Amino acid sequence: MPAISASAPGKIILFGEHAVVYGQPAIAVPVNQVRARAIISARPDQPSGWINVQAPDINLEDNLENIAQDHPLVLVIKGVLEATGIGQAPALTVRVTSTIPIAAGLGSGAAVSVAIARALSGFLGRPLMNEEVSNLAFEVEKLYHGTPSGIDNTVITYEKPIYFTKTGLTDQGKMDAFQVSQPFTIVIGDTGVPSPTVAAVGDVRRSWQEDEKTFQGLFANIGEIVTRAKDAIEKGEISTLGPLMNENQHLLEKIGVSSGKLEKLIQTAVQAGADGAKLSGGGRGGNMIALATQETAQQIANALIAAGATRTIITEVKQ
């Protein structure tokens, strides 16, 4: 049996993080420059049911039964076996590699889940549909992140820009059709500070519980920005997006998820010619994004590195 591989992109949230957890819309786009890949190979020398997992990026190589049973890789592999209805799989190796930085707001966890779900279900001859793949990745995210909105698994599964609204506490959200009529360029800058989303989301929840009125107002303001941004992207009015990013960042600061390093990089990007910039994802650390043009992108990336960014990615947002 030939080896089967599948890959899935990283992602960034353009507008609406955190507020999306409270029912406001958000916009996310895939980042194809970084990807997670899963390769499934047959091991006819081993008994059926034998599954070996190799994830060199996290120094993991072991048989499935020896790995903690709540490990995300175990959860996704078992989830695929269940979803495909295959009780006993032929002996196989699942190898996962990824160029997506971990805990940086680029969706590495969801991308690994999606790549494994596609490759393994394909290998077993029962390829899962997009909706099933996304659901599986969402279930794994839920066990790890508590109350994820579902935006990561959705944008990474469908690999296109999405306008996303969470529909319930435990349900997957809904994805609306969304046209990018004019491509635009984003520079992503990594603070190098790992920031698990679950901690930032938990802190925001505590602040919201303490002062529900203020936080509902901040989330609603973010929601309005997202709606205006969607409209601008659909009409190709890219110059509107920079000021909207700045406004969104200002509200994220009020919510308490920004940081000194994020703000330094955001300021640097704007001084280097970006039309707007904001943090992206959970915040505190992780990545920031800046609106650039093909002409200004490299100079903004260079300025970010000079200001302490550990890595930059230039990406084109298009349909």
Active-site residues, by number, are 152
**Chain residues 48-87 in contact with ligand PMV, contact rule CB under 6 A:** none
Using CA atoms in the order 175, 136, 125, 159, what is the torsion angle rounded to 10 degrees?
40
Residue of 278, 275, 300 lying closest to 289 (CA atoms): 278
Give the binding range for ligand PMV (CB under 6 A) out of 58-66, 93-101, 143-151, 306-314. 143-151
Nearer residue to ligand PMV within complex by CB, 40 or 222: 222
Among 9, 105, 122, 223, binds ligand PMV (CB under 6 A): 105
Residue from 8, 13, 226, 304 binding ligand PMV (CB under 6 A): 13
Between 122 and 148, whose beta carbon lies closer to ligand PMV?
A: 148
Enumerate the β-bridge partners of residue 185.
292, 316
Q: How many residues bind ligand PMV (CB under 6 A)?
A: 15
Residue 38, strand partner residues: 6, 96
The answer to whether the beta carbons of residues 191 and 290 sit under 8 Å apart is: no
18 vs 71, beta carbon nearer ligand PMV = 18
Q: Output the smallest distance, CB 213 to ligand PMV, in A.
A: 21
Report, in Å, the least distance between residue 260 CB and ligand PMV: 19
Which member of 197, 248, 258, 315 binds ligand PMV (CB under 6 A)? Answer: 197
Please, are residues 123 and 107 in contact by the beta-carbon 8 Å criterion? no
Quick one: 206 exposed, middle or buried, by C-beta within 10 A (0-12, 13-18, 19+)? exposed
Query: CA nearest 153: which of 171, 169, 167, 133?
Result: 133
Interacting positions 14-43 with ligand PMV (CB under 6 A): 17-18, 20-21
- With tokens 């903690």, the residue in question is 68
Least distance from ligand PMV to the Cβ atom of residue 141, Å: 8
Q: Which is nearer to ligand PMV, 50 or 144 (CB)?
A: 144
Question: Cβ closer to ligand PMV: 18 or 230?
Answer: 18
Q: Is 157 in the site for ligand PMV (CB under 6 A)?
A: no
In sequence order, which residues have a C-beta less than 8 Å from that of residue 190 and are 6 or more positions away? 101, 104, 286, 287, 309, 310, 311, 312
Q: What share of the chain is helix, strand, coil (3-state, %, to 5)?
A: 45, 25, 30
Q: Which residue is nearest to ligand PMV (CB)?
A: 281
CB of 105 to ligand PMV, least distance (A): 4
* CA–CA gap between residue 268 and residue 270 (Å, rounded): 5
Cβ of residue 301: shortest distance to ligand PMV, in angstroms? 20
Binding mask 235-274 toward ligand PMV (x if CB under 6 A, else -) reads: ----------------------------------------
Q: Quote the least distance from Cβ 318 to ligand PMV, whole Å.
A: 20
CB proximity list for 251: less than 8 A, separation 6 or greater: 218, 221, 222, 225
Using the structure block, give the residue that is written with the tokens 């549909």. Answer: 129
Task: Using CB under 6 A, list all residues that contact ligand PMV.
Answer: 13, 17-18, 20-21, 105, 107, 148-149, 151-152, 197, 201, 281-282
